[in-house]
């Protein structure tokens, strides 16, 4: 089977779909891998790293797409990439169709593309195996980002996250006790911040309480508690998401107005639309803006800050599925692997994911 790895073209995206180690595994399984020139450079992987393990370097995105049965990307394709699609091929990437431009779905339809979205590959127990390491990584970055934004030179409140004797630590409020929220809570707590986490599921909060031996405060997420928690937070971190759907808006503009000036709101759910009414996407060059006196950080691709680690994390997670598809073919893999089947948003040009279809007010066109 032929795999293609195009260079990411979205601004300020430094990750790559496959690392040399992943390419090596596919080559050893007797597949061909075509890597666009410089695709891995920004993540610290050079063309000769791919060539050493048997990858073939191609000199345009058109060729990387054109030779591939399966295209392995990081972010969803941009409009300039639509013309590279080859009829009937499969694309692995983050897709976020619920908040993407409608012309992406139309291009998938026109080219009979099968689009498998990393963010909706979901096991029966609710685990998102490809999204999980990315969430772990983002959670680890959370206090680094917050700590910088809290500094006076960046317009923040000038509060040290962990405090010192006689001076209290920052109050950090996290929405969502999934993998991302859990790792963010762990990272903030290990620094000594005062952490409160909210989730609508009591079981999730019980897990947090057991995991951290009561060191992290927990609250059921309801309008009363959300309003209360936002009002006392120095840092709010939004981590809530529903696979395949738009993120729920938990924080209204009125709630943001109750925060003390120069507090920080980090919306990690922005790639799914964001959890705050005042959130809109930013980028790594201009990552923040001030609204209602609050510093907002709404970068959709935070893991690219550590592109090498993030590329390894992504490749490690999706490689087993690529190897299985290469071994038995896509059709059999979809029959045998339920979580992979759940990842299919579009199948041969037809909308296949119930959650995505519901958000887009469309009907599921094919059932897998």
Which residue do the tokens 């934004």 mark? 149
Give the DSSP per-residue string, 333-346. Answer: HHHH-HHHHHHEEE
Q: Which helix (H) or strand (E) holds 91?
A: strand 90-93
Q: Please name which of 290, 291, 287, 294 lies closest in space to residue 270, comparing C-alpha atoms.
A: 287
Contact between 139 and 195 under an 8 Å Cβ cutoff? The reply is no
Catalytic-labelled residue, pool 24, 271, 318, 353: 271
Which residues are 130's β-sheet partners?
none
Quote the CA–CA distance of 192 and 183 in Å, as a whole number.
Answer: 14
Could you give the count of Cα atoms lying within 13 Å of 356 in the half-sphere of its Cβ? 28
Quote the CA–CA distance of 89 and 100 in Å, as a whole number.
Answer: 20
Which residue do the tokens 């260079």 mark? 7
Which residues are 90's β-sheet partners?
70, 114
Q: Could you confirm whether 125 is annotated as catalytic?
A: no
Residues 32-45 as b/e (b if ≥16 CB within 10 A, e otherwise) read: bbbbbbebbebbeb
Q: Which helix (H) or strand (E) holds 206?
A: helix 202-211
Q: Which helix (H) or strand (E) holds 264?
A: strand 264-267
* Tokens, residue 171: 């109050």
Q: Could you confirm whether 24 is annotated as catalytic?
A: no
For residue 26, the SS3 value is helix
Contact between 259 and 228 under an 8 Å Cβ cutoff? The reply is no
Contact between 92 and 326 under an 8 Å Cβ cutoff? The reply is no
Quote the CA–CA distance of 76 and 115 in Å, as a whole number.
Answer: 10
Catalytic-labelled residue, pool 31, 69, 84, 96: 96
| Catalytic annotation, residues | 96, 271
């Amino acid at each position: 089977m032929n795999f293609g790895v195009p260079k990411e073209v979205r601004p300020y995206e430094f990750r790559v779909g496959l690392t040399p180690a992943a390419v090596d595994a596919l080559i050893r399984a007797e597949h061909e891998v075509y890597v666009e020139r410089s695709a891995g450079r920004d993540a610290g992987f050079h063309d000769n790293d791919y060539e050493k393990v048997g990858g073939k370097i191609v000199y345009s995105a058109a060729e990387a797409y054109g030779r591939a049965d399966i295209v392995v990307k990081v972010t969803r394709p941009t409009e300039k990439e639509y013309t590279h699609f080859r009829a009937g091929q499969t694309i692995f990437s983050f897709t976020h169709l619920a908040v993407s431009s409608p012309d992406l779905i139309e291009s998938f339809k026109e080219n009979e593309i099968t689009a498998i979205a990393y963010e909706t590959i979901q096991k029966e127990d609710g685990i998102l195996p490809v999204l999980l390491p990315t969430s772990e990584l983002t959670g680890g970055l959370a206090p680094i980002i917050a700590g910088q934004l809290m500094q006076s030179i960046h317009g923040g409140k000038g509060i040290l996250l962990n405090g010192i004797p006689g001076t209290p630590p920052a109050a950090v409020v996290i929405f969502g006790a999934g993998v991302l929220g859990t790792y963010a809570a762990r990272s903030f707590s290990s620094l000594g911040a005062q952490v409160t986490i909210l989730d609508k599921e009591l079981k999730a909060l019980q897990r947090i309480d057991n995991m951290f031996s009561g060191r992290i405060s927990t609250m059921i997420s309801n309008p009363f508690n959300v309003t209360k928690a936002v009002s006392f937070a120095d840092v709010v971190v939004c981590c809530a998401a529903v696979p395949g759907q738009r993120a729920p808006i938990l924080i209204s503009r009125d709630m943001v107005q109750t925060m003390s000036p120069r507090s920080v709101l980090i919306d990690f759910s922005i790639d799914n639309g964001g959890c705050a009414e005042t959130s809109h996407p930013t980028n790594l060059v201009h990552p923040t803006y001030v609204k209602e006196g609050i510093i907002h950080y709404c970068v959709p691709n935070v893991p690219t800050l550590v592109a090498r680690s993030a590329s390894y994390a992504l490749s490690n997670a999706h490689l087993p599925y690529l190897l299985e598809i290469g071994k038995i073919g896509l059709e059999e893999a979809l029959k045998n692997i339920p979580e992979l089947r759940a990842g299919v948003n579009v199948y041969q040009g037809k909308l296949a994911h119930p959650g995505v279809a519901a958000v887009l007010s469309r009907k599921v066109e094919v059932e897998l």
